[in-house]
Amino acid sequence: MTLSDRLRRLFATVTHATAFTGAGISAESGVPTFRGADGIWNKMRPEELASMDGFLRNPDLVWEWYAHRKRIIADVRPNAGHFALARMEHMIPHFAVVTQNIDNLHRRAGSTHVFELHGNIERNYCMQCGRPYAEEEGRGAPGVPRCPTCGGKIRPDVVWFGEMLPEEEWNASVRAAEDSELFFSIGTSAAVYPAASLPVVAQSHGAYLVEINPEPTPLTERADEFLQGPAGRILPALVEALHEARKAST
């Protein structure tokens, strides 16, 4: 893999960096899109299974679908790309991961400074009082669990179609992008807004924009550097280059 001299020089001095990740990095771990032709849910429209309207119409069906997804994701493991980003956090003083993924793989790999724009499938909360809900509280009970405090319906802590991104996570993500000297866009189509605006925000505030993807995207022509290939191969190589640059500068 060939890196530009500018990126290698930046590796030696960078103090603020952000990694923005999408479905591509998780696909390398085997996380399915749940829309494949062989999926048991492929005849359902996403809006029926991932929207407030769908949940209100048929809460048991939606809860069953998310329980199915949780079982699949529980058996998936972080890959080399996730672990490489966790290592970067220890090498760059101010480093954040902003992710569109809900699978919790970044945290499971060891990243601690993570902003989850679309929520986290491992969490749930009460729609009525907002109380967090651990699934162990209602294990074995059929249908949608009820809040032990107020009796309200429990829902997954994920962003559904038609819902706003969580304000605190979004604002923190924008600040991270604005403060970045180096911004990685990894495994994302760069087509889902407002999240897709973050690389542009970072670049407009002076960040060096590096895209990592197996195939070009609408962001590719704008990126300062395009590294074509899977994140699980490219990110570990970048960590080694970062390590060498840091060592040479001391």
Instruction: Write the DSSP symbol of residue 96.
Output: E
Rounded to 5°, angle at Cα 39 from 33 and 41: 95
pTM: 0.93
Q: Whole-angstrom Cα distance, residue 175 to residue 202?
A: 9
136 contact partners, CB below 8 Å, separation of at least 6: none
Just list the catalytic residues: 118
Is the domain 1-31+78-118+165-250 a CATH 3.10.180.10 member?
A: no
Return per-residue pLDDT of the chain as tens, 250 residues.
789 999 999 999 999 999 999 999 999 999 876 544 444 455 567 777 889 999 999 999 999 989 988 999 999 999 999 999 999 999 999 999 999 999 999 999 999 999 999 999 999 999 999 999 987 765 666 789 999 999 999 999 999 999 999 999 999 999 999 999 999 999 998 888 899 999 999 999 999 999 999 999 999 999 999 999 999 999 999 999 999 999 998 7
